[in-house]
Amino acid sequence: MSRGGTTHFQPGDVIQQHFILRKRLGTGGFGDIFQATSTLKRKPIEVALKVDVYEPTDNWLGKEVQTLSVVGGKPHFPKFIHSGIDGHYFFYAMELLGPNLYEIRKKQRTRTFSIQTTVNVVIQLLEAVQTLHNCGFIHRDIKPMNVVIGGPSKAMHDLYLIDYGLCIPVLSREQYQETLYEESNIIGTFHYCSPTTHHRRECGRRDDIISLLYMAVEMRLGKLPWAGVTDMKELRKVKDSYCSEILMEGLPPEFAEIFMDVLGLQATTAPDYARYLKLLKQVQKRLSFNNRTPFDWEISQPRASIPYKSPIKATKSDPVQ
């Protein structure tokens, strides 16, 4: 796998005669991603183009295309435009969207999001994750850098889940194998990966939701309790030591309820998305906002988050199955 290297493409280069690279987007660690002008149709359009060295036996970008060709264009997913091989390179083009949530949060004065924005981000991403799971894929790399807002021609109120490089199929109970991964084969972004990954087990649908809840804590509080911990064993220990209530302490109690439910799921069980969405709607109702409430990045003045107090008192650790 060539993941981790760059392709040496530069702005100004042209791929397959129709894609003129304009500027590098984000800081892709796998291959390269550019904003490009596509002249494939009579009217040129701006697209996002991901490119990497083509390895026929291990074409991970090709696997991304397999996922995007199923989910592309559904709510919360970019439209798939084109894929191909140019010399030694494989590339695919998709709808051009906006900045990612990591960049957006870092631009906030407090480096946090209000409770309204945090809840509404989680609602949209739960819908995205549910769509992806229903299409048969587990993402395995849910994190702020893999979530972008609408691009120049789209609303900044719509969130999109991108980067399908680590997607695997949803497995049935019969297909799931209780084998332990080698430590060196652990993948994903350690900061957001669920305890399952640390315990070297294969991920299920529940693990995408655990990563999403970790994201919620970080969005609201500015960091996760294990910020700065890089040692894998230490990271696993810190994550295991947090019970739902303590970890979700800075968020409305519904988050701890969802977290506890997800932690109790088997790897092959479908999460109860409808129940989680209902609980989050309950938060919206109690704190008097709704899905149309502008996100923090849609308003020029920073707003005060609605104050609330968690009625739950923490007790012991929750089991991880």
Ligand X SMILES: Nc1ncnc2c1ncn2[C@@H]1O[C@H](COP(=O)(O)OP(=O)(O)O)[C@@H](O)[C@H]1O
What residue ranges bind Mg ion (CB under 5 A)?
Answer: 146, 163
CA 251 to chain CA centroid, nearest Å: 20
> What are the binding residues for ATP?
50
Closer residue to ligand X in complex, CB, 33/258: 33
Looking at the Cβ atoms of 149 and 262, the one nearer to ligand X is 149
The yes or no reply on residue 29 touching ligand X (CB under 6 A) is yes
* 78 contact choice in ligand X, Mg ion, none (CB below 5 to 8 Å, kind-dependent): ligand X
The first and second tokens of residue 17, run together, are 């005669």
Q: CA nearest 115: which of 273, 211, 255, 244? A: 255
Q: How many residues bind ligand X (CB under 6 A)?
A: 21
Q: Which positions ≥6 away from 175 have C-beta within 8 Å?
A: none
Q: How far apart are CA 143 and CA 162, in angstroms?
A: 10
- Cα torsion 211, 101, 37, 128: sign: positive
Q: Name which of 164 and 276 has its Cβ closer to ligand X.
A: 164
Contact 104, 149 (CB under 8 A): yes
- In 3D, which of 135, 142, 280 has the Cα closest to residue 208? 142
Answer for the pair 213, 258: CB distance below 8 angstroms, yes or no: yes
Choice from 53, 94, 215, 258 touching ligand X (CB under 6 A): 94
Q: Which does 115 bind (CB under 5 to 8 A by kind): Mg ion, ligand X, none?
A: none
Q: Check binding of 33 to ligand X (CB under 6 A).
A: yes
What does 263 bind: Mg ion, ligand X, none (CB cut-off 5 to 8 Å by kind)?
none
Q: Which does 33 bind (CB under 5 to 8 A by kind): ligand X, Mg ion, none?
A: ligand X
DSSP 8-36: ---TT-EETTTEEEEEE-TT-SSSEEEEE
78 sits near ligand X (criterion: CB under 6 A): yes
Which residues between 48 and 67 bind ligand X (CB under 6 A)? 48, 50
- Closer CB to ligand X, 100 or 211, in the complex: 100
Contacting ligand X (CB under 6 A), which of 2, 18, 26, 287? 26
Residues 121-160 that bind ligand X (CB under 6 A): 145-146, 148, 151
Both tokens assigned to 49: 């183009």
User: What are the residue ranges of helices labelled H in the chain?
Assistant: 60-71, 101-107, 115-134, 195-198, 205-221, 232-241, 244-247, 253-263, 273-286
**Closest residue to Mg ion using C-beta atoms:** 163
**Among residues 9, 19, 30, 137, which is the contact residue for ligand X, using CB under 6 A?**
30
Rounded CA separation 30/272 (Å) = 33
In angstroms, give the least distance from the CB of 152 to ligand X: 10
To ligand X, the closest distance from the beta carbon of 209 in angstroms equals: 20
Q: Which is nearer to Mg ion, 131 or 146 (CB)?
A: 146
Q: Which of 7, 38, 100, 114 binds ligand X (CB under 6 A)?
A: 100
Contact by Cβ (8 Å): 101, 161: no
- Tokens representing 56 are 């026929």
Complex with ligand X: residue 162 or 215, whichever CB lies closer: 162
Q: Which is nearer to Mg ion, 103 or 272 (CB)?
A: 103
Distances (CA, A) of 262 to 71, 90, 97, 254: 24, 37, 31, 12
Q: Footprint of ligand X on this chain (CB under 6 A)?
A: 25-26, 28-30, 33, 48, 50, 78, 94-97, 100, 145-146, 148, 151, 162-163, 165
